[in-house]
């Protein structure tokens, strides 16, 4: 795995390419990309430091590891054009709704396919990369892929049947968290804090709280209790959030996305 190719070079592919380039592991690979709008592709490649390809065929001939990063509905068309050239290639799909089985019927038998679901924070090496357990990659090559993915975030392996539930959290979740960041910052601004400082306070509070939970493994309810002194300020805010249904709103959002 020396040359990595992206079929489609939009938001997700660029986030991955930026993350790979910034990491020690990822920067040892050459990154190629193809997208139909060549002017836009060349601009994006020169900004990110990857190599633009003039055609799908050129990308496939130069790369042994190929990421499918176009829109899910475009994959069948791409496979129709280059399917037979994928003999022996290592394929990684980031497309929502595509799993191992769906690919297996459409690619050559010798092609390897691994479905993953990254999220956009991979661009700053803090992504979540869901990796479906079902795959036909050789063990050593898959380990190399997982190392590469691990260089831009936390790799979590899931059975295929749970990929949608996982994606509801890590794929859709950044939008929910961004709404929470914006709302908490609005509260800070309402109380006189400058907007820029408000985002700084909110984001670091989120990072710190998340890191504390991940590193200690302490139940989030206990971490919350540790901040709520009896009769104090925080528990009054907690009571307001309960009254407004924050928990059930978030559970319902994950539920609807998972379905």
Ligand X SMILES: NC(=O)c1ccc[n+]([C@@H]2O[C@H](COP(=O)([O-])OP(=O)(O)OC[C@H]3O[C@@H](n4cnc5c(N)ncnc54)[C@H](OP(=O)(O)O)[C@@H]3O)[C@@H](O)[C@H]2O)c1
* Structure-token pair, residue 68: 């499918």
Give me the residue whose beta carbon is nearest to ligand X: 10
Minimum distance of ligand X from residue 13's CB (angstroms): 6
130 is a site residue for ligand X (CB under 6 A): no
Give the footprint of ligand X on residues 152-171 (CB under 6 A): 171
**Which residues are paired to 33 by β-bridges?**
6, 52
114-118 LR contacts (CB < 8 Å, sep 24+): 114/90, 114/142, 114/145, 115/160, 115/163, 116/92, 116/149, 117/163, 117/166, 117/167, 117/170, 117/171, 118/12, 118/15, 118/16, 118/94, 118/149, 118/152, 118/153
Residue among 94 and 111 whose Cβ is closer to ligand X: 94
Question: Is 94 among the residues that bind ligand X (CB under 6 A)?
Answer: yes
The percent of the chain in helix, strand and coil, each rounded to the nearest 5, is: 60, 15, 25
Q: Least distance in Å: CB of 134 to ligand X?
A: 18
Q: Does 111 bind ligand X (CB under 6 A)?
A: no
Q: Is 35 in the site for ligand X (CB under 6 A)?
A: yes
Q: Is 63 in the site for ligand X (CB under 6 A)?
A: no
Can you tell me which of 3, 21, 23, 74 binds ligand X, judged by CB under 6 A? 74
User: What's the min distance (Å) between Cβ of 96 and ligand X?
Assistant: 4
**Interface pick for ligand X out of 48, 60, 70, 149 (rule CB under 6 A):** 70
């Amino acid at each position: 795995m020396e040359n990595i190719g992206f079929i489609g070079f939009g938001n997700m592919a660029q986030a991955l390419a930026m993350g790979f380039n910034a990491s020690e592991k990822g920067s040892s690979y050459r990154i190629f990309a193809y997208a139909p709008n060549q002017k836009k592709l060349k601009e994006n490649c020169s900004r990110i430091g990857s190599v633009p390809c003039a055609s799908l065929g050129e990308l496939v001939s130069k790369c042994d590891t190929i990421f499918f990063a176009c829109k899910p509905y475009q994959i069948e068309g791409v496979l129709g054009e280059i399917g037979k050239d994928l003999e022996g290639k290592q394929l990684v799909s980031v497309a929502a709704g595509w799993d191992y089985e769906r690919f297996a019927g459409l690619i050559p038998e010798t092609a390897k396919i691994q479905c993953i679901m990254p999220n956009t924070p991979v661009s700053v090496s803090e992504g979540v990369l869901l990796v479906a357990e079902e795959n036909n990659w050789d063990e050593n090559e898959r380990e190399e892929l997982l190392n590469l993915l691990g260089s831009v975030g936390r790799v979590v392996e899931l059975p295929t049947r749970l990929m949608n539930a996982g994606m509801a959290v890590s794929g859709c979740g950044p939008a929910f968290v961004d709404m929470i960041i914006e709302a908490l910052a609005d509260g800070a601004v309402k109380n006189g804090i400058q907007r820029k400082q408000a985002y700084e306070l909110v984001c670091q509070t989120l990072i710190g709280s998340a890191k504390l939970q991940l590193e200690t493994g302490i139940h989030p309810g206990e971490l919350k209790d540790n901040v709520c002194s009896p009769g104090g300020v925080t528990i009054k805010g907690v009571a307001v959030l309960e009254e407004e249904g924050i928990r059930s709103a978030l559970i319902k959002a994950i539920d609807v996305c998972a379905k």
